Structure 1
């Protein structure tokens, strides 16, 4: 039976067929697209037609990284506990990625973690992962310091499990010969991943400067570890191999530093995607068409899709020309548009 006959039978069954052929175009369009005509005509903040997740089933899910609000959080203008509700109510995003810096002393505080979990559960928001910094270098040449760094992350593995996350993000940092750092980092990651396995938590590494921003180097570390719950978190930015030194260890000072040596982002993402258990959609600035000006989102997302990835892509706005809120909105709009074209 033809598709046309199927549609006619459907319309006849619901009693609409006798209403005349004049309404068929709009009804059939809605049946085909799963979206009302009014929704299809909505536009985003740049004036482009707004493509929503209801029009096309995207091949990935969207989450929001807490670092997008790091300025407000560090300035005390935003409470960490309010993050999940803001994600849902202001941006219609129902999955969040935490940064441990904003609840650094609460990893073992079950009352506090319980409040975080309750706020998510009560509002239908999923906790995806915890990005962990400041717990020591996994590739430290000093064995004692390296083992301490591994143990420092145990509490975050336990916190991630409690919150319902699937992973913690760690850094594979270390000073010295790249080969020696790779060996040390692989040993640390294997030990931490073994602990993570017992808690059903993945240990994932982001390209986060230095050796880790070399896609070939980090993919080599992954191959050495060779554990199912140890993977990568490819970040669209962060492909700087060497950066100028900041005047101080503050986000503002780091933002003023310059990259002295880059690694090709498209090559790097392609090298890291086979091990990806998360993806970070870093963004900085946008033109009047709504496209990111420092990178080709369409090219990157095609790499992500071609790798067979279907998990969360976390919005992480880090620009200075828009408010944090507008930066998140622009990034989401771009991801929806690019995602729909690839799905």
Structure 2
């Protein structure tokens, strides 16, 4: 597999790229987000009882790994899709936050598979926009281990959430404070901190762009997700949704990666719920250079089929 993964150092971004039979733009690289295989890793642990899931994540996280695949093997799995950059999710490794011996072995698996870690997505570590300054600082410090792991693995970035309670203005102020403090720690380690539009206020593109303006740090930016623009959810789905195209355009000036979310594909191979050609034009018009992360979350295709369909669509649009 290593023989078919070609290394290409790309322009000023010095990113390692991946070329397939379909030629890509030279300053963009397709990566694979681990969440694309979350059903295959968690299996029956994803039974809809998120309170129980969250409790077990804190008490016995390894017990949640009930799927047919194991996160330990993700480097080899990703290489099988012809990508050379992976995006990890910390909830698959929640018991390993302080286990550097584990990460030494994981790094060897990456090297053996010919892949590198691009970023680590961090969840369930507390609210960086918590109204309580003590709890907010705890959330900041809860991310420190993952910053260190990212540095050890050679990743450039961790992805965090700008969550909290209160008015939009209150959460924006508190989130900016938490992000600045985490950004200062991460900067000492040479690591970027990026915020994804991930529900609540963060799915409002103008709100998150405003937080970025307030933080105003070189190593703090965004990870625009093409699909996460639901601001308010109800029992039957999204009650309030932000315009995805406007939101992506607002977040791209701060982007240090993008998350190519997909759900449904038509017979023509295009994503049925969004105009991917329009989205990719927004991304490239912004002058973005970096990783485009495959993140399939659909139900009509298997995870394997969805990953392949997403990769094929991105490659087609980057020709």
**Residue ranges of structure 2 left out of the alignment (5+ in a row):** 1-18, 44-65
Are 2:77 and 1:86 aligned?
A: yes
Asked if residue 99 in structure 1 is aligned to residue 78 in structure 2, the reply is no
2:186 to 196, 199, 202: 196
SS in 2 for 1:291: coil
Residue 126 of structure 2 is matched in structure 1 by 136
Partner of 1:182: 172
Contact between 1:139 and 1:182, CA under 8 Å: does it hold in 2?
Answer: yes
Deviations 1:222-243 (A, max 9, x none): 0000000000000001100101
Q: Output the CA distance in 2 between the equivalents of 1:56 and 1:189.
A: 34
Q: Distance in 2 between matches of 1:294 and 1:141?
A: 36
- The 1:210/1:122 distance shift into structure 2, 3 A limit, reads same
2:41 aligned to 63, 68, 73, which one? 73
1:115 aligns with 2:105: yes
Detail structure 1 runs of 4+ shifted over 6 Å in the superposition: none
Compute the displacement of 1:52 (Å): 4.5
Match of 2:157 in 1: 167
**TM-score calculated relative to the size of structure 2:** 0.85
User: Retained in 2: the 8 A contact 1:283–1:292?
Assistant: yes
- 1:288 counterpart (253, 267, 270): 267
Quote the offset at 1:57 in angstroms: 3.7
TM-score of the pair, normalised by structure 1: 0.79
Question: Cα RMSD (Å) of the superposition?
Answer: 1.2
Q: Structure 1 regions of 5+ residues with no counterpart?
A: 1-50, 246-256
After superposing the two structures, state which structure 1 stretch, 319-328 or 76-85, moved more. 76-85
Instruction: State the partner residue of 1:61.
Output: 29
Q: Are the equivalent residues in 1 in contact too, given 2:22–2:315 (CA < 8 A)?
A: no
Residue 233 of structure 1 is matched in structure 2 by: 223
- CA distance in structure 1 between the partners assigned to 2:153 and 2:91 by the alignment: 16
Conserved 8 A contact 1:59-1:305: no
